Structure 1
Amino acid sequence: MIDLKFLRENPDAVRTSQRMRGEDPALVDALLEADAARRSAVATADNLRAEQKVLGKSVGKASPEERPVLLAGAQELAAKVKEAEAVQTAADTAMDGAHRAISNVVQDGAPAGGEADFVVLETVGDVPSFDFEPKDHLALSEALNLIDMERGAKVSGARFYFMTGYGALLQLGLLQLAAQRAVANGFQMMIPPVLVRPEIMAGTGFLGAHSDEIYHLEDDDLYLVGTSEVPLAGYHSGEIIDLTAGPKRYAGWSSCFRREAGSYGKDTRGIIRVHQFDKVEMFSYCKPEDADAEHQRLLGWEREMLAAIEVPYRVIDVAAGDLGSSAARKFDCEAWVPTQQTYRELTSTSNCTTFQARRLSVRYRDENGKPQIAATLNGTLATTRWIVAILENHQQADGSVRVPAALVPFVGTDVLRV
């Protein structure tokens, strides 16, 4: 949720943010009205309770003659207090709904517009040129026995697959490399649960416009996560954490699940867009004033991993209309996919400022010992989709694929051959 103090002092900035996202600026006015109504209801209820307390003391000191009149007044006042508390409860509920309806305030400098309006910040590496007709990742995988889509569909349905042989070793190696790098950079490794309670999923902002992307187990009222960002955000929910030594960093290794609702007909070939994949995700808690610098650090660690797999990529500043509701700013790294002649997303890193932590009540103590809302950030360090870029960019004329040097110790060979 956004900061109400910021909203009261800068309503036009929040309206502008809503417009940049392509969302309704009228929600800002609805929240301001709900905020004013709630504060009025709280004041009314507090005043009546104070009056009731004073009257209660008067009854205790009253003479027998005065007491009946005072008791009658106390009963009447008690009814008013009960009514005022009901109004306050309703105002609290309306306020919470209006508050949750507004996405995070877009950071200054983020591009306006939708999915196609990103800004390219940098292009790294040379796009490969082949003296043969390159194969796509699925054709390579099938020839090298790395991925079995047919049996994945037989067992689980469309967009499921088996990673087999060296394909499985390639994925495990990629994730293990990411884990090692995360630990070396001060992250605590975590293998989190992949089922979470509704309040944790809602707290991270994933039950908004894209809730149809999430698998929900109705009998248990639990959600399968699409990223370990979700359980890691919930890890310190309701806590006051210690940030005196700097950001608190976790790296979560988990399987991830996405329904991919609304994406039917898109990227149906291979493993670019699937229902289940594995990922190592970075997650940071920090003081709000440190969030921008931490965001750049996460992006830097992503770039180091992409350099390790030796693929050309570009860094983009994602436009406001393509941000998730919790993100104030997001940078993506997109790798070149030769057979598609375009760049495709491999990593995202988002600065969620205090939006998630406010929902999940994650705080820290400032220099005066006063509890303050923390900031949260996340970023991809490796995921199954990276195999697409590795295979296509490192393929050779004879159908083999060169294994990047950083992954050879994990895979056990420097070339994948038929």
Structure 2
Amino acid sequence: MLDISFIRENVDLIKETARNKGVDVDVDRLVLVDGRRRELIQSVERLQQERNANSKLVKSAKGEEKDRLIERTKGINQQIKELEAELEKVMTEYQELMLRVPNPPTPDTPVGEDDSDNVEVKRVGEPPQFPFTPRNHVELMEMHRMVDIERGVKVAGSRSYYLINDGALLHRAVIQFALDQLGKKGFTPMVVPVLVNEMALVGTGYFPLGAEQTYHVEKEDKYLVGTAEVSLASYHYGEILTEGELPKRYAGVSDCFRREVGSAGRDVFGLYRVHQFSKVEQVIICRNDEEESKRLHYELLQNAEEILQGLELPYRVVQVCTGDMGQGQIRKHDIETWMPSRGNYGETHSCSTFHDFQARRLKLRYREDNGELKYCHTLNNTAIASPRILIALLENHQTEDGRIRIPEALQPYMGKEFIG
């Protein structure tokens, strides 16, 4: 959510941002509703003041004057009641429109429609050149009984799976490896709730625009998270932190659930795009300062790169264009890891800066040393997501005889050098 004063002063910028991000919001209507909202608030406050003044006069008045003041007070109360009823309706529309307003990206963000317009920043490592016909991850996993997709679909429906034997162990190994790496950098490890109230999803910007991607548990009126970011960023909901305790660095471990509406026929082979997966998410809450946000953004990005380097995987970093950004992001980079079966890089990490967009929704502030209250800035980035990362691990490290070499960094977690 943005400051309404900023929106009023930058209507053209907000309209341009909505067009570039593909967000449907009527900015002119918002400005009109905001104007009526302010008029009603002023009218109610003016009448309340008059009522209070009348109430004081009633105490000393007598006769017809007292009766006149009492009647006037009754009339004021009726006017207030009618205005407050209208104000309630106006506020409902105002809040709905405010929740749809997108956050303007940084000036250096490339303008584009989708991920094909993202701009490559760098590449690290070289894709392997196999002297044999490489197998895809499903073939490798079935060869070593690491996965059972057929029974996963039977039990849970499309895009479901069982990880078995070394599949389960490798999954747990990459999760723990990422968590350990972040622990060395001062991140607080957290196992977070995956079933949350609507407040947490509205607060982090996943509602209302992303509601169709979220599983709703109707009986309890709660929702399954698609990332630990939701629970981590909401951890300090409604709180006032101190400047001295910032920045806060959290590493959240969770199962994640996404409906993947609209992705039928796209990236659905094997374990690339599934409904349930596990993730270690990095979240930072910091001061309201662009230079600090920018520095921490690249810190998060570097953390993810170091994890991929430890896994000995080739990857590239892209700067995400406007059409591929979320509503609240002002700066975003994706990391795409080489996946031989796709003959291309596949997204495995997303690094995002929001400034105070989430904090305003979450009522998350801090008190500066001088006593002034400010909204925090929030940032997040994937540390690891599995089983998608297993695609790259298995396919890049396979040998001609079908074995899979385990990267040195994972060998202590797996207790061996090869699978198979």
Task: Give the Cα–Cα distance (whole angstroms) in 1 for the partners of residues 395 and 219 of structure 2.
Answer: 42
Aligned to 2:340: 338
Q: Which residue in 2 is equivalent to 1:94?
A: 93
Q: 2:413 & 2:311 partners in 1: Cα distance?
A: 13
Q: Establish whether residue 127 from structure 1 lines up as the match of residue 127 from structure 2.
A: yes
Instruction: Tell me if structure 2 keeps the 8 A contact 1:271–1:388.
Output: yes
What do residues 374-407 of structure 1 show as CA deviations (whole Å, max 9, x unaligned)?
A: 1111110011111111111111111111111100
Which residue in 1 is equivalent to 2:318?
316
Deviation per CA, 1:196-227: give whole Å up to 9, x if none.
01121122121233322111111111101110
Shift in Å at residue 366 of structure 1? Answer: 2.0
Once the two structures are TM-superposed, the CA of residue 326 in structure 1 deviates from its matched residue by 2.3
Determine if the alignment matches structure 1 residue 176 to structure 2 residue 176.
Answer: yes
Quote the Cα distance in structure 2 between the aligned partners of 1:107 and 1:92.
30
Deviation per residue, 1:217-256 (Å, 9 max, x gap) = 1111110111011111211111112332431111110111
Counterpart CA distance in 1 for 2:267 and 2:346 is 11
Displacement, 1:96? 0.7
- Is the partner of 2:269 in helix, strand or coil? coil
Match of 1:365 among 361, 364, 367: 367
Query: 1:34–1:98: 8 Å Cα contact kept in structure 2?
Result: no
Q: Which amino acid aligns with 1:331?
A: H
Would you say the 8 A contact 2:288–2:374 is kept in 1?
A: no
The answer to whether the Cα contact below 8 Å between 1:208 and 1:325 also exists between their aligned partners in 2 is no
- How far is the alpha carbon of 1:312 from its aligned partner? 0.7
Q: Once structures 1 and 2 are overlaid, which stretch shifts more, 9-18 or 275-284?
A: 9-18
* Runs (5+) with no aligned partner, structure 2: none
SS of 1:133 mapped into structure 2: coil
1:24-39 matches, cutoff 5 A:
24=24, 27-39=26-38
Matched, 1:275 2:269: no
SS state at 2:120 partner: strand
- Match among 298, 301, 326 for residue 299 of structure 1: 301
Tell which deviates more after alignment, 114-123 or 363-372.
Answer: 363-372
Indicate the SS of the match to 1:66: helix
In structure 2, C-alpha distance between the alignment counterparts of 1:288 and 1:338, rounded to whole Å: 42
1:141 aligns with 141
Paired letter, 1:284: I
Structure 1 residue 295: Cα displacement: 0.9
Q: Distance in 1 between matches of 2:26 and 2:33?
A: 10
Residue in structure 1 matched with residue 164 of structure 2 by the alignment: 164
Residue 314 of structure 1 contacts residue 334 of structure 1 at CA under 8 Å; is this kept in 2? Answer: yes
Name the structure 2 match of 1:80: 79
* Residue matched to 1:19: 19
Q: Deviations over 1:262-294 (max 9, x none)?
A: 112223321101111110001111112122211
Task: Determine what percentage of the aligned residue pairs are the same residue.
Answer: 40
Q: Give the CA deviation at 1:62.
A: 0.9
Contact 2:242–2:368 (Cα < 8 Å) also in 1: no
Residue 15 of structure 1 aligns with an amino acid whose one-letter code is K
Partner letter of residue 402 of structure 1?
A: R
- Per-residue displacement from partner, 1:69-116 (whole Å, max 9, x unpaired)? 111111112211222222222222221111012122222211111221
Which deviates further from its counterpart, 369-378 or 278-287? 369-378
Q: Sort the Cα spacing of 1:8 and 1:367 in 2 relative to 1 into closer, same or farther, 3 A.
A: farther
Q: Which moved more, 1:181-190 or 1:243-252?
A: 243-252
What CA distance in whole angstroms lies between the structure 2 residues aligned with 1:212 and 1:72? 53
| Partner secondary structure for residue 33 of structure 1 | helix
SS of alignment partner, residue 253 of structure 1: strand
Q: Which is further off, 38-47 or 262-271?
A: 262-271
Q: RMSD value over aligned CA atoms?
A: 1.4
- Partner Cα distance (1:207, 1:267) in 2: 25
* Residues 1:151 and 2:151 aligned together: yes
Contact 1:121 1:317 in 2 (8 A): yes
Output one character per residue of 1:128-169: Cα deviation in whole Å (capped at 9) or x when no partner. 101000111111111112111122112212211111111111
1:326 aligned to 2:328? Answer: yes
Quick check: 2:339–2:345 contact (8 Å CA) kept in 1? yes
Q: Is the 8 A contact 1:38 1:92 kept in 2?
A: yes
- The equivalent of 1:206 in structure 2 is 206
Q: What is the alpha-carbon distance in structure 1 between the residues aligned to residue 268 and residue 41 of structure 2?
A: 54
Residue pair 1:22, 1:113 contacting (<8 A) in 2 also: no
Post-superposition offset of 1:358 = 0.8
Counterparts of 1:357 and 1:316 in 2: how far apart (Å)?
26
**1:230-309 correspondence to structure 2 within 5 Å:** 230-289=230-289, 290-309=292-311
Does the 8 A contact of 1:45 with 1:88 survive in 2?
no
- State the Cα deviation string for residues 17-49 of structure 1 (Å, max 9, x = none): 11211334x622222122211111111111111
Structure 2 counterpart of 1:156, which letter?
A: A
The answer to whether the Cα contact below 8 Å between 1:21 and 1:321 also exists between their aligned partners in 2 is yes
Supply the distance in 2 between the matched residues of 1:223 and 1:313 (Cα, whole angstroms).
33
The question of whether the paired residues in 1 share the 8 Å contact of 2:313 and 2:392 is answered with yes
Measured in 2, the distance between the counterparts of 1:306 and 1:194 equals 26
How many residue pairs get aligned? The number is: 416
TM-score by length of 1: 0.96
Give secondary structure in 1 for the equivalent of 2:341: coil
Q: Secondary structure at the match of 1:331?
A: strand
